[in-house]
Amino acid sequence: MGVAVSGGPDSLALLLMAAQARPGAVRAATVDHGLRADSAAEAAMVADLCARIGVPHATLTITVADGNMQAEARAARYAALAQWMEAQGIAALATAHHSDDQAETLVMRLNRASGVAGLAGVRDRAPVPGADLLLVRPVLHWRRAELAAVVAQAGVAAVDDPSNRNPAFDRVRVRGALADADWIDVPAWSRAAGHLADADAALDWAADMEYRARVQREGLGVIYRPVAPRAIALRVMARVVCDITGEAPRGSVLARAFDLLMARQPAPIGDLIVRPMPGAFSFVRAPKRRTPPA
């Protein structure tokens, strides 16, 4: 099993418990994003701890692309971890997401009017983003304070990442608001996200049934004859679009298209045109614009 260890208290606790539970069967990796002056020293600290507890360790140095820093860093981090897993023959990657993370994610996605899939938060088992590898979150039902206590009891000093206190990040502001709201039951919120994950899986199952029964290719396009409720129809439409274009459409784009189609109006989705038909939606590629001669 591989463990992603940043050096913070959450991932250090996971590392210590994994090493004790599965001696000799754990590998650790620290991703150095190169975004802070102390990052290399922090990775070296994790490497030193791993040497002391007998866990092989690798430091993965990455370059973060321009754009949304957190999103680009996440993508580069998982790409590096996936490559490391494949090179080491690692069966599963464990990360230290916990119930406080889950509650924070739920609030952030409520603020963005996310659907069921988004509100389901992170799962205890999922694919590594961008790879056909297993990602597990064994401490998803632990609290942040409980993990910090494991590290303190072991006498290990955790990394203090100043970005975790930077109010420029949505998660930091949400974390502070939740900490001040003593009426919130964080474990209950985390369990609620788990119930939403069950609902998301049920919707996927129903959408698969609808797709197989109600979608077929005709001529140059695809015809979908919907009978399912809106939430399921949107998932079927997303799958049709992905089948044709190879790209997953945004949920907001699909929702607007569905409303237009129900109003008997054509709807663009990327380079597709979706037209209403009696009892059906027709998906075809939009004709390419001719380039005028020079």
Cβ proximity of 122 and 137 under 8 Å: yes
Q: Is 129 annotated as a binding residue?
A: no
User: Cβ distance 121 to 106 under 8 Å?
Assistant: yes
Cβ–Cβ under 8 Å, residues 235 and 258: no
Residues near 120 by Cβ (< 8 Å), separated by ≥ 6? 193, 194, 196, 197, 199, 200
Facing residues of 222 across strands?
217, 283
Order of all β-strands in the sheet with 125-127: 57-61, 27-32, 2-4, 92-94, 134-136, 125-127
Angle between helices 99-111 and 170-180 (to 10 degrees): 110
Q: Is 163 marked as a binding-site residue?
A: no
Could you tell me which of 127, 166, 155 has the C-alpha nearest to residue 36? 166
Helices (H), the chain: 9-21, 39-53, 69-88, 99-111, 116-119, 144-154, 170-180, 186-214, 230-245, 251-262
Q: Which residues pair with 27 in a beta bridge?
A: 2
Task: Determine if residue 9 is labeled as part of a ligand binding site.
Answer: yes
Q: Which residues are known binding-site members for ATP?
A: 6-11
Q: Which residues are annotated as a binding site?
A: 6-11
